Structure 1
Amino acid sequence: MTDPRPHHYRFVHRELARQVLEFGPRVATPAPDGGSLLPVVTRIWDDLGRTLPPEERLPAHGLDCRHLSVDGHPMLLVTLPTPVGATEAHFAAAVHPRGSKTVRYVTLEHAFSPFDGSPGTVLGEWTAESHLNHGQGPSPVAELFAASVVGLVTPKKRSFWRR
């Protein structure tokens, strides 16, 4: 198992999480002009790097983002540079669940099995108060992650049984 690299970890779990939770649903909704948030996300990555010792800085290669709507839920999907260490993330999503006044920040984190060390993923979420572990995540494919995010934020319908 490899420890997370400080630049990657702090970007996903601190800086981007803080920005998403501070700016709320506006982050998940595309700008009226259709502009990309990639320059902003890259600037956050680079600004964080400047606070780290040179040997801990990482290039932004692989960093990307795009707005999408999945089942009516607006989402900013951020693709991260390839994760190496445990808890580094493949993806992060700022999702504005339909009918909600708040945004949720969900991550697909790189993980290793405690039993045999094999790689896998964990679906995580940051709130203003804490980090939540939602268990095993999907393969690190953008569409699978986006579908998992929607499944997580969509209220479950209760079944009603009559006898």
Structure 2
Amino acid sequence: MTDPRPHHYRFVHRELPRQILEFGLRLTVPDGGGSLLPVLTGIWDDLGRTLSPEDRLPSHGLDCRHLEADGHPLLLVVLPTPVGATEAHFVAAVHPKGTKDVRYVTLEHALSPLDGSPGTVLGEWSAEGHLNHGQGPSPVAELFVAAVAKLVTPKKRGFWRR
């Protein structure tokens, strides 16, 4: 299994969730001030300056855009191509409608322990720690956004419960 690169891992699993969980709602809805890409690139570059030169990565491939998925506003962050396990393809800062919360969901690169084949894991960071929501979709933005919407949409309960 390939270990995650420190720059990529710390950005996705430490620095970005800290920022998003702290500033939450302001990040999920565009304020007319333009793209958040310069802010994200600044966070990426600032983190890189704390690492040894051999651990620093360029921000090529880093991107973001505001979307809405099933009525849930979200900020989709596209990351530089992951190489190591637990590095992420995408991150979503999502504001589930009807709540005051923001959730931080990741689509992490994974390798099968059986045959080493690539796959993904849907993860989430909260104030309590990291959650593993199991196998994720293929690393395609639209599939990830649909998985996030499904994850944050409350389950409908019918009259007859099983």
Report the TM range for the smaller structure's normalisation.
Answer: over 0.9
CA distance in 2 between counterparts of 1:46 and 1:114 reads 33
Counterpart of 1:101 in structure 2 is 100
Q: What are the within-5 Å matches in structure 2 for residues 1-163 of structure 1?
A: 1-31=1-31, 33=32, 35-161=34-160
| 1:26 positional shift | 1.2
Distance 1:153 1:26 in 2: 18
User: Following the alignment from structure 1 to structure 2, what is the Cα–Cα distance between the partners of residues 30 and 126?
Assistant: 22
Structure 1: 4+ residue segments shifted above 2 A = none
The AA in structure 2 aligned to 1:21 is L
- Residue 19 of structure 1 aligns to a residue whose secondary structure is helix
In 2, Cα distance between the equivalents of 1:43 and 1:53? Answer: 17
Number of residue equivalences: 161
Q: TM-score, normalising length from structure 2?
A: 0.97
Q: What is the root-mean-square deviation in Å for CA atoms of aligned residues? A: 1.0
> Structure 2: 5+ residue runs without aligned partners?
none
Identity of aligned residues (%): 81
How far did 1:115 drift?
1.1
Displacement of 1:161: 2.2
